Amino acid sequence: MLLEFTVDDAGKVVSPTVLENCVETYFPGLRTCEDKPGRIFDRPAISAAVKFKYKPRVIDGIPIATVGVIHKITFEFNEIRDI
């Protein structure tokens, strides 16, 4: 899942939005997007992102906001069980 957000002048995440979500499968030498799970993981990903803390960009000794930060969040399941 790819998120985009702004890191403000205090290092906090502001306005996270989901750019892309995809269920990926892994085979030797191949990584493919098999399914788009709708919006089921959006809220947990955004909740995680707002807890991130960054060092803000500093220009001439003044911290400034950075717009357009992209961060990848991966949800991984170890087992698939029949329901």
pLDDT tens column, 24-58: 666 666 777 766 667 888 999 999 999 999 999 99
> Which domain range does residue 55 map to?
2-72
- 41 occurs within a structural domain: yes
- 64 occurs within a structural domain: yes
Number of domains, the chain: 1
- 54 occurs within a structural domain: yes
pTM across the whole model:
0.77
- 38 occurs within a structural domain: yes
- 81 occurs within a structural domain: no
- Contact criterion met (CB below 8 Å) for 31 and 73: no
- 78 occurs within a structural domain: no
Percent of the chain with pLDDT over 90: 55
Residue type, 7: V
Per-residue model confidence as pLDDT tens digits over 51-82: 999 999 999 999 999 999 999 998 877 766 66
